[in-house]
Amino acid sequence: MFDPDKLIRKGLPKGYFKDILVRSLLGGITYLIVLIAVLLFAKIIIDGAPALFTSKFPFVDVEFLTAKNETLHVFDDAQGTRLQLPASKYSEYLNAHSGESIYNEQTFSYSGGGIAGPIAGTALLTVGSMILALFFGVSAAIYLAEYAKQSPFIHAVRLAILNLAGIPSIVFGLFGFSVFVLAVPVITSTPSDRTLLAIPLLINDWVLSFQGWNSSLIAGCATLACMILPVIITASEESLRAVPQGFRDASLAMGGTRWQTIRKCVLPYSLPGILTSSLLAITRVAGETAPIMFTAAVAAKDDFPWQGLGNPFDILSSQVQALPYHIYTLAARIPNSEYTQRAQYGSVLVFLLLVAVLSFGSMMLRAKMRRKLKW
């Protein structure tokens, strides 16, 4: 027998306190995470801002961004004023005040001057590895999505590529070191002593020598590209598959070849998706330290990568500084003090801003493309 009065509850709803408890616990955890993120950014911004920003126009410490990295000299001058000067200014000072003596001198490696070298290096590494990764990754994705038949073998290939994504970056670093730095073949007339195998080409005195690219920009780019290939391939394949089948049918049915169809009716529409995936990849490439430690990065370098080259292509074989590696050097390889903080937190802040700008840039590009290509 249905008793309508039973619809009216007596007392609190069932599980009232339990619900409140669960709700506040879950909410608390969420806000704790947010708090940690906020603290992290606040710490970086508060400590990094003095290095990067100034109170006077143009409000940004241009020198920090454009000057080369130098050793910082800290000392008391004859009047007892504590001075902080990067190495080049320090020697100027000594020349100008040759008669005077200085006291309590301390030096801090890598902490003076600016971080133009690491910024340039990171930019070069990012651009180079993205070009490599997009070329190879998108090619592989087109093959997998458009040409390959769905067989167990292709399934295994795809699985192998996915597995690549799970490999720790330090392993990629070692792989890059043993392959790109030490083993890949180069054509040269003067093979190195440690070449693994040298095959004479019988043209001039050229030799195909398996001696690697040494620690260089190109070796670093190749290593980073290997690391992000799985991300690019998987995401590109997905966005290729997301293009309506009708486009392919229509193009083929009008007498388009496979490649015409892909180039005109599939690739343009999957580009926004591919860019989204490369956005993730860009931030990863710019941020990784381990893969470039053995393959491309140096802690100190007097010239910019493009300076002092015989021909423009030599830039590929020059070593570079890089922001993440610079931060690692500043944090772990030199003693910490109040004088090194400027360089440390400044670098971190610049690094974060750089990644943010890169991400924002690709986001805008993607939005623009998305607006143009809508179906």
Which parts of 16-75 interact with another protein (CB under 8 A)? none
**Per-residue DSSP letters for 231-264?**
HHHHHHHHHHHTS-HHHHHHHHHTT--HHHHIII
Cβ at position 138, least distance to another protein in Å: 20
In the stretch 76-115, what mask flags binding to another protein with x, by CB under 8 A? ----------------------------------------
Residue with Cβ nearer another protein (158 or 301): 158
Cβ at position 266, least distance to another protein in Å: 10
Q: Does 241 bind another protein (CB under 8 A)?
A: no
Residue with Cβ nearer another protein (89 or 263): 263
Binding segment (CB under 8 A) for another protein, from list 94-102, 137-145, 255-263, 284-292: 255-263
Q: Does 152 bind another protein (CB under 8 A)?
A: no
| 367: region left, alpha or beta (phi > 0 left; psi from -120 to 50 alpha) | alpha
Cβ at position 162, least distance to another protein in Å: 22
For residues 352 and 358, give the distance between their C-alpha atoms in angstroms, rounded to a whole number: 10
Structure tokens at 43: 């710490």
Binding segment (CB under 8 A) for another protein, from list 88-96, 125-133, 193-201, 251-259: 251-259
Binding segment (CB under 8 A) for another protein, from list 44-52, 215-223, 249-257, 305-313: 249-257
Cβ at position 243, least distance to another protein in Å: 9
Give the number of other Cβ atoms within 10 Å of residue 228's Cβ: 27
Residues, the chain: 375
Q: Does 153 bind another protein (CB under 8 A)?
A: no
Residue with Cβ nearer another protein (90 or 269): 269
Which parts of 256-275 interact with another protein (CB under 8 A)? 256-257, 260, 264-265, 269
Number of residues that bind another protein (CB under 8 A): 22
Cβ at position 144, least distance to another protein in Å: 14
Residue with Cβ nearer another protein (154 or 174): 154
Q: Does 157 bind another protein (CB under 8 A)?
A: no
In the stretch 268-307, what mask flags binding to another protein with x, by CB under 8 A? -x--------------------------------------
Cβ at position 365, least distance to another protein in Å: 18
Q: How many CA atoms lie within 13 A of 80 on its CB side?
A: 0
For residues 213 and 7, give the distance between their C-alpha atoms in angstroms, rounded to a whole number: 79
- CA pseudo-torsion sign 213, 216, 220, 221: negative
Q: How far is CA 189 from the centre of its chain?
A: 35
For residues 129 and 295, give the distance between their C-alpha atoms in angstroms, rounded to a whole number: 13
Residue with Cβ nearer another protein (15 or 244): 244
Cis status, amide bond into 58, omega within 30 of 0: yes
Residue with Cβ nearer another protein (144 or 285): 144
Q: Does 239 bind another protein (CB under 8 A)?
A: no
**Neighbouring-strand partners of residue 86:** 72
Residues 251 and 351: beta-carbon distance below 8 Å: no
For residues 112 and 110, give the distance between their C-alpha atoms in angstroms, rounded to a whole number: 6
Residue with Cβ nearer another protein (130 or 274): 274
Which parts of 204-233 interact with another protein (CB under 8 A)? none
For residues 258 and 251, give the distance between their C-alpha atoms in angstroms, rounded to a whole number: 9
| 343: region left, alpha or beta (phi > 0 left; psi from -120 to 50 alpha) | alpha
**Per-residue DSSP letters for 45-88?**
HHHHHHHHB-SSTT-B-HHHHHSPEEEEEEEE-TTS-EEEEEHH
| Chain contacts with another protein (rule: CB under 8 A) | 149-150, 244, 246-257, 260, 264-265, 269, 373-375
